Amino acid sequence: MNVKIKKILKKKNKAKIICLTSYSKNISEILDKYTDIILVGDSLGSVLYSFNTTKKVNLNMIIEHSKSVRQGVKKSLMVVDMPFNTYRNRREALKNAKKIIKYSKADAVKLEGGKKIIDIVKYLRKNKINVMGHLGILPQSHKGKFRYKGKTSIERKNILADAILLQKNGVFSIVLECIETTLAKEITKKLKIPTIGIGSSVNCDGQVLVTDDLIGLNLTSIKFVKNFYDIRKHITIAVKKFKDEVKKQKYPTAKFSY
Ligand code: KIV
């Protein structure tokens, strides 16, 4: 088993798992010291490209960003999202997962869904591909308004069954996106593998956020996003200083010229 995955599994019930997204080398270089998992999420579609859906992210985009991210990752486990329409059947999934791993040297791929994709998960595992699951809100197949999952008893039963099924078929961890607090707690308690929550309460084994959201670079009003910092303020200060010095011909001085 991948040593980094082993380390993450050992954290269950002992220490919280820290996961953050990255789409580039410079950001992953900063994150890597503090994270257990760095995820090249297909959220890059909305965060970087202003797409109204992650479905518009394609394989080449995710591979190019993953190659950049890889350069900044040393100690964290690197997971890459398989984009929409890249795992419609077992063969397609294996071919594309191998391609992602070949070019980015990622440790694992993440797929959205439970029972519906279980044959694909099984096949990837059979071919030694490390897989992370993703349940709750599934942006790649979601239709209509986003609302949290686990409101009705049938929905709760299905999500719990999906989580157990994914574990049985070899995923090493599952992202729980916007799952009601007590259901997230129940899933986390029932599973031997760690759950990584996003909008799913403190009861999960770890937490993930989109880095651009938490540093205030990407402006969003999603309920579960806490603004831990206002990086825009600091970028603004630097840009204003640059503009000022250029206008006053204070920059570039001889020191910065050839
Ligand atoms: O695409 C993404 O960034 C994700 C996380 C939000 C879990 O899937």
Which atom of ligand 1 is the closest one to the Cα of 175?
7
**Residue 134 near residue 113, CB atoms below 8 Å:** yes
Per-residue pLDDT at 203: 98
Which atom of ligand 1 is the closest one to the Cα of 42?
1
Per-residue pLDDT at 143: 84
For ligand 1, is residue 42 a contact (CB within 6 Å)?
Answer: yes
Per-residue pLDDT at 77: 98
pLDDT at 145 over 90: no
Read off the pLDDT of residues 246-255 as tens digits, 9 standing for 90 and up.
999 999 999 9
Read off the pLDDT of residues 79-117 as tens digits, 9 standing for 90 and up.
999 999 999 999 999 999 999 999 999 999 999 999 999
- From the candidates 29, 155, 177, 180, give the one annotated as an active-site residue: 177
| In the chain, % of residues over pLDDT 70 | 100
For ligand 1, is residue 133 a contact (CB within 6 Å)?
Answer: no
Please, which pLDDT band fits residue 1 given cuts at 50, 70 and 90? confident
Per-residue pLDDT at 70: 98
How many A from CA of 143 to the centre of ligand 1?
A: 17
For ligand 1, is residue 20 a contact (CB within 6 Å)?
Answer: no
pLDDT at 31 over 90: yes
Q: Indicate which residue's Cα is closest to atom 8 of ligand 1.
A: 41
For ligand 1, is residue 21 a contact (CB within 6 Å)?
Answer: yes
Q: Indicate which residue's Cα is closest to atom 3 of ligand 1.
A: 41
CATH number listed for the domain at residues 3-227:
3.20.20.60
92 is catalytic: no
- Domain boundaries along the sequence of the chain: 3-227, 232-258
**What value does the mean pLDDT take over residues 150-176?**
98
**What value does the mean pLDDT take over residues 152-173?**
98
pLDDT at 146 over 90: no
> Mean pLDDT score of the chain, rounded to an integer?
97
pLDDT at 159 over 90: yes
How many A from CA of 223 to the centre of ligand 1?
A: 15
Q: Which of 135, 137, 173, 210 to mutate to test the pocket of ligand 1 (most atoms within 8 A of CB)?
A: 210
For ligand 1, is residue 211 a contact (CB within 6 Å)?
Answer: no
Per-residue pLDDT at 68: 98
Per-residue pLDDT at 27: 98
What pTM, to 2 d.p., does this model score? 0.97
Q: Which of 27, 65, 138, 198 to mutate to test the pocket of ligand 1 (most atoms within 8 A of CB)?
A: 198
Q: Which of 37, 43, 225 to mutate to test the pocket of ligand 1 (most atoms within 8 A of CB)?
A: 43
Per-residue pLDDT at 142: 86
Read off the pLDDT of residues 208-224 as tens digits, 9 standing for 90 and up.
999 999 999 999 999 99
pLDDT at 144 over 90: no
Which atom of ligand 1 is the closest one to the Cα of 43?
1
Read off the pLDDT of residues 119-139 as tens digits, 9 standing for 90 and up.
999 999 999 999 999 999 999
